[in-house]
Amino acid sequence: MNFIRVDILLPTYDNDKYPVETEKFIQTLDELFDRFKGGNLDYTPIMGKWEDPKTHEVFLDENMTYWVICEDSLDNIRFLKEEYEPKLRKRFKQRAMMIYYWNDKML
C-alpha cells in the first residue's frame, strides 16, 4: 500500500483579521482523526504572504499546519479537494486554503 502525507495550512486569523476560535481547530483535528484515524498539529507559526489572482489584493497570513498520513487513493484526494477544502474555507473564512501532499515511505 502506498501512502501520502497531506499538509493543511490553517490560518490563525480569518480574512477580516479576526482570530480564529480554538473550537474550529479542535473540530478540524477531530474530523481528520475520524476520517484518517490519526493526525498531527504543528503549532510552529508559519508566516505567509500571497496575492489574490483575481483582485490583486495582498494578504499577510499566520498559519499552523495539520498533517496526516493516509492511503494514496483517488478517494482520499477527491475528499480533500472537493469536499474538505471548501468546508475549511467556509469554517476559517478564507478565500483559499493551502492543502498539499507528497508520497511518503513508511518504515
Per-residue confidence (pLDDT) for residue 107, from 0 to 100: 63
Write down the mean pLDDT value for the chain: 92
Per-residue confidence (pLDDT) for residue 79, from 0 to 100: 97
Per-residue confidence (pLDDT) for residue 104, from 0 to 100: 64
Per-residue confidence (pLDDT) for residue 87, from 0 to 100: 98
The cell for 67 is: 498533517
* Alpha helices per DSSP H over 3-57: 22-36
Dist. CA 32–CA 67, nearest whole Å: 9
Q: Cell numbers 472537493 correspond to what residue?
A: 82
Per-residue confidence (pLDDT) for residue 72, from 0 to 100: 94
Low-confidence residues of the chain: pLDDT under 50:
none
Per-residue confidence (pLDDT) for residue 31, from 0 to 100: 96
